[in-house]
Structure 1
């Protein structure tokens, strides 16, 4: 009995600690995005991150968690557990349901934070609050139920998505793409000839610190998904996570040196993040070598997709779709190729990677699950924004965008002047 209680205590501490690490990633998102956007929009980034946390947590507590992990109905939706009440005995874990909710809450906050960067510098604050409620209360919970909940229809097919390359990153990335398309590009981003104009980041050192914080938090993201402090795969998960991130950054350094004749700092930052996204689905099930390959492919693909978006005049200021949508897709499919028999055969339906003799079954299931989750994220986010735009404007006015959202929407600049007072009327051009 004492050993059982000790095991529960250790697992609880582990899950709470890793949940806190994931929540710290919001600081990483804040610094990364604030560094990538112009100085006049830094406060708006911080405010959106606070919206992610405060509204995301409350909505997920009230009904998002219930829709995701409540008792299954037809493999599509959870039906109980609103405000963590009712019989949740079907969630059989070595930790309390409250502890599990905390960990999952950190995940749902990360999903909407992905969307935040794609609409930076032009989405209206009130519209973003409503979009956060839709994402954390309905869009993400239902997709998560299909893959991760007991009885979810995609999970029953045998899909493997250990920590969320599909459920979190592909979903968030394709939602970000829909939002960027719906809101439209920033004023002046594209010239009359259709070519993209460079919008210089305001603070690349700040963005790099944000990336390092995200990298740190990712160890909680991936290794914490074991939900057990004594799980022997924690070390392997941490190693594959580290190697994939390093490979993503290294590949971007070499590829941009070849392509642009210089190492491109924003691409290198996003390359490491792409490697982290790519390994998230298979971190517990692939070899070290496969992790390096996944990271490198994700990093190079991120660069190519970023260029493609600009040619298509799609404005994504921080590269949310290229990092999360594309790398999440690569990582999800890579499980179907590289999942090791000794690590994956006991999961789901026992499928393992095509390259290890596992046949096409797992790859097919991964592709189907990815397609469903990505399409759901894109279409539902577009629909949500369409409805929101009928209630409040989805995009700020031209004057607010030109002045900057910090002053135009929030009434305060990110950085005060060294001497004297700030004349807000002057900043607004009045």
Structure 2
């Protein structure tokens, strides 16, 4: 087969970034739908407003400093330059893709991480403190941690840390930030009482299930977009293998969660199944190219086990994770980043362990400091919404 022309490659590779960015927006919408379905009715307007506000803040924060912190870092360095991004398409032959398409895709990943954090602290966080954190997340925390991997920073250069699909750079980083937020903000009103965990009454679980399917579809295209150009036969074959592995891992995660809940609790849990489908694809994201199908199934199935056994453990610690973010994104992201060494000799286990720990630790500590400062200055908790009109909930 004859190779594509330079123009065709430029158009296809730029188009892939745009499509992957739109897929990230779909994943964001899916997370919002999941949160709306899990939350009580009066909290739905606040979930929508937080999601839209987070996306708007991420656009400007990533434009102002985030992009160059991520991709302007020196090889093997720790910190890129603090400068704003601008369109640069004077010599497209050198880059091979439109600069605006690349910025758009990377910005949506920053917004995806912010919405993941929002999901964990739903029903109890104030809007403006959350948006302030979002600005620092998209402009500082996420770009710095991702630059160590995708920007050619220290852990990628010195320790050969690999994370092709964002298991650590996006999911683990956002999950660690969500854990810090949960610790500082505390549980939802009435969530824990007299040592007993009280499940919150969900209003529309079918809506949550639909949102989880949208999230899986979006994450699948995000992984393909992160793998790079698709304008050659080899790249197209790789993309096909990635879709098969990711779908098998997601299905294995859902089935493992269903089987485990049926075995332990004598019932098949819908929440565990839908979270398991997301946890499965997050688990395979670090290296979705190398595994055989049976390896992808095993990795995804363990992700399904993780999302099933983690929530009761968090309940014992009185950590209220409203969107099952810690199990699905933090723990499954860490699992996926570490297990990536299993499929290929190109990935070094000590490098994966060190990079995973560094990304999780940096995101957690920075987020903990920010949320603590917000708590003791302007406050972070919203008032209980049981007696507030739904139209007023979005403004609290």
Q: Could you tell me how far 1:288 is from its partner in structure 2?
A: 1.4
2:252 and 2:298 in contact (8 A); partners too: yes
Cα pair distance change 1:288/1:404, threshold 3 Å? farther
Cα pair distance change 1:45/1:366, threshold 3 Å? same
1:41 and 1:405 in contact (8 A); partners too: no
Q: Could you tell me how far 1:41 is from its partner in structure 2?
A: 0.5
2:32 and 2:119 in contact (8 A); partners too: no
Q: Could you tell me how far 1:145 is from its partner in structure 2?
A: 0.9
Q: Residue in 1 aligned with 2:38?
A: 36
Q: Deviations over 1:205-226 (max 9, x none)?
A: 1001101111111221111112
1:73 and 1:79 in contact (8 A); partners too: no
Aligned Cα root-mean-square deviation (Å) = 2.2
1:36 and 1:202 in contact (8 A); partners too: yes
Q: Could you tell me how far 1:388 is from its partner in structure 2?
A: 2.1
Cα pair distance change 1:369/1:386, threshold 3 Å? same
Name structure 1 gaps, 5 residues minimum.
342-350, 353-361, 413-430
- Aligned with 1:82: secondary structure? coil
- Aligned with 1:223: secondary structure? helix
Q: Residue in 1 aligned with 2:240?
A: 235
Give 2:70's match in structure 1, choosing from 65, 68, 71: 68
2:282 and 2:333 in contact (8 A); partners too: yes
Number of matched pairs:
388
Give 1:383's match in structure 2, choosing from 341, 361, 369: 369
TM-score normalised over the length of structure 2: 0.93
Q: Residue in 2 aligned with 1:78?
A: 80
Write the mapping of 1:15-34 to structure 2, written as runs, cut at 5 A. Answer: 15-34=17-36
Name structure 2 gaps, 5 residues minimum.
none
Q: Residue in 1 aligned with 2:6?
A: 4
Q: Residue in 2 aligned with 1:320?
A: 325
Q: Residue in 1 aligned with 2:104?
A: 102
Q: Deviations over 1:178-213 (max 9, x none)?
A: 101110011111111x11011121100100110111
Q: Residue in 2 aligned with 1:393?
A: 379
1:66 and 1:84 in contact (8 A); partners too: no
Q: Which has the higher contact order (CA 8 A, sep 6+)?
A: 2
CA distance in 1 between counterparts of 2:182 and 2:283 reads 22
1:283 pairs with 2:284: no
Q: Could you tell me how far 1:72 is from its partner in structure 2?
A: 2.1
Cα pair distance change 1:3/1:86, threshold 3 Å? closer
Q: Residue in 2 aligned with 1:111?
A: 113
- Aligned with 2:193: secondary structure? coil
1:28 and 1:214 in contact (8 A); partners too: yes
Q: Which is greater in Rg? A: 1
Q: Deviations over 1:226-263 (max 9, x none)?
A: 22223131001111110000000000111100011010
1:330 pairs with 2:335: yes
Give 1:167's match in structure 2, choosing from 163, 166, 169: 169
Give 1:270's match in structure 2, choosing from 271, 275, 287: 275
1:56 and 1:133 in contact (8 A); partners too: yes
CA distance in 1 between counterparts of 2:123 and 2:217 reads 27
2:58 and 2:110 in contact (8 A); partners too: yes
1:146 pairs with 2:148: yes
1:11 and 1:228 in contact (8 A); partners too: yes
1:122 and 1:405 in contact (8 A); partners too: no
CA distance in 2 between counterparts of 1:88 and 1:317 reads 47
Q: Could you tell me how far 1:338 is from its partner in structure 2?
A: 2.2
Q: Residue in 2 aligned with 1:183?
A: 185
1:374 pairs with 2:374: no
